[in-house]
Structure 1
Amino acid sequence: EGGGRPACTLLYLHAFGRCGAEYLPPLLERLSPGFPAPWLRSGDFAPGLRVVLPTARRLRLPWGPVETSWHGYVSPDSNDVGDPETLEETRRRLARVVREEVELLGGRADRLFLGGLSQGCTAALDVYLREGPRWGLGGFVGSVGFFPSDGAGFAGASRLTRELAAGAQAGRPVWLQSALDDPWVPWEGLVGPSLERAGAL
């Protein structure tokens, strides 16, 4: 609001099959009543915060349905990337958004944060591994995701995770919230091991 330069910006990616508009009224109230959104005038309002809520393109999945998705999946019961080109397209698209948002912040990349929910969390973290160190981004905040890795189809992510942990960007926060009992993004076998590989546990 106000049209001036934002104090900081959050680029936040939605979950699989959802859309960016779900984080704004009227959909937010209907689908997620009580969801704390600091970009809305409520008890959690953060003046000066700009939020960017892109929507993923619609992809036909190997098992039939067409859904908004940041990348294709191997199968309906896997979180692994199934179509590497769909991931590369997301990486390119979001790298452009990062560049544009840094420009809007007058070059203050440390005031740009990335984040997301579920598939959007992991896709945003994949982009953060690339763009965070390049620009000196402010940090990452996400829910119900995991650290991407080459083994899960995120080519180059394993090396970039090690480099992030060893470089100057390691001083910036990476906040990842996940449930221990989530059946879709399970702690055991996925989230926990990804955090161990990243040196976060």
Structure 2
Amino acid sequence: MAMEFPPPHIHAPQTTHTHTIILLHGRASDGPEFAEELFSSLTTKGTPLPDCLPSWRWVFPTSRDRWSALFQEEMCSWFDAYSLTNIDERQELQIEGLQESVSHILDLLENEIRLLDGKAGNVFLGGISQGMATALWTVFCAAERIPHQIGGLVGFCGWLPFANRLEELIAARSKEKEEDATSPTKTEIQRLVSNFCLATIDSAHAPPTIQENNSSDSGRAVPILTTPVLLGHGTDDVWVPVELGQQAFRVVQQVMWPVEWQEYTGAEGEGHWIKEPEGFDHILRFLKSRSIGG
């Protein structure tokens, strides 16, 4: 049996709880370490994000340890990513971890929505590096369990697992539509991507086909895939090439809306971090602009 996930690190709100954000760490990190690094970074005002959003609850889950085929050792990671120079190489290794981690994060999302009396729009999700990759897949797989738009999705210095396959599916759908002198709708793309991701991690779901969107529900938007998104990446990131972040943005832009993209240079960690303070100002503006009732 798979090991259980450790309990998340919680930074409680300083005032009455109005919002929650769940943030996922990168590979070989953990929730408390990510929280410490994030809260030591400042906005232009010279304050960390929690002080700017005193009614927010900050949830930092920790992945369980899993075997890395590349490094030949156990490490704390949401899934096993073999290569970021060729993302198709041994990509099947990602499936088990994505299956476990997506289910875990969906449990956390459902719990935080309950704590806020069902106000899904007051709950946000995000992550950095592999945490961003996991957050994106969580939202893509959430249609059945969370039939609501959430407040927002933020991701930095990350990528999208199976991005090449998703781009191929979207291109094939577009070519199919061209024969009828039409274009696929946003909702068709949403269901195509959602069904592909669910089928990849859950054998109970059939893989998508070109014909599936002729069904009566193809015109209905997937509520959680109407969630606003903010993505960013350092152009000098030595760990995750910015091209992978750009590819994730291209796919997400076809699935969700609105989607913001930010590039920057000179961040700490050899570019594999959020630019301080500009990047944190951008996050703060995004979270405040999407907040409901506080």
CA displacement 1:54-106 (0-9 Å, x = unmatched): 10111121131211100012247555642411110001111111111110010
CA displacement 1:113-137 (0-9 Å, x = unmatched): 0001111011111112233762321
Q: Distance in 2 between matches of 1:35 and 1:66?
A: 33
- Residue 59 of structure 2 aligns with which residue? 52
Q: Distance in 2 between matches of 1:67 and 1:96?
A: 23
Q: Deviation at 1:47? A: 1.5
Say which of 11, 15, 18 aligns to 2:29: 18
Secondary structure at 1:72's aligned position in 2?
Answer: coil
Say which of 147, 168, 173 aligns to 2:228: 173
Q: Deviation at 1:149? A: 3.5
CA displacement 1:139-198 (0-9 Å, x = unmatched): 101211134446479xx99612999xx65556532000111222322123x222332233
Q: Distance in 1 between matches of 2:53 and 2:160?
A: 28
Whose radius of gyration is greater, 1 or 2? 2
Distance 1:90 1:152, change over 3 A: farther
Q: TM-score, normalised by structure 1?
A: 0.77
Alignment of 1:104-119 (within 5 A): 104-119=115-130
Secondary structure at 1:21's aligned position in 2?
Answer: helix
Q: Which moved more, 1:132-141 or 1:97-106?
A: 132-141
Q: Which moved more, 1:88-97 or 1:132-141?
A: 132-141
Q: Which moved more, 1:129-138 or 1:109-118?
A: 129-138
Q: Distance in 1 between matches of 2:109 and 2:126?
A: 12
Q: Deviation at 1:112? A: 0.5
Structure 2, unmatched stretches of 5+, are 1-11, 167-189, 197-217, 262-294
Q: Distance in 2 between matches of 1:192 and 1:49?
A: 30
- Residue 130 of structure 1 aligns with which residue? 141
Structure 1, unmatched stretches of 5+, are none
Q: Distance in 2 between matches of 1:87 and 1:124?
A: 10
Distance 1:89 1:172, change over 3 A: closer
Q: Distance in 1 between matches of 2:248 and 2:195?
A: 10
Q: Deviation at 1:11? A: 0.5
Whether contact under 8 Å (2:14, 2:54) holds in the other structure is no
CA RMSD of aligned residues (A): 3.3
Q: TM-score, normalised by structure 2?
A: 0.55
- Residue 71 of structure 1 aligns with which residue? 79
- Residue 245 of structure 2 aligns with which residue? 191
Secondary structure at 1:191's aligned position in 2?
Answer: helix
Alignment of 1:91-110 (within 5 A): 91-110=102-121
Secondary structure at 1:115's aligned position in 2?
Answer: strand
Residue identity (%): 26
Letter in 2 for 1:117: I
Whether contact under 8 Å (1:122, 1:148) holds in the other structure is yes
Aligned length: 188
Q: Distance in 2 between matches of 1:79 and 1:148?
A: 8
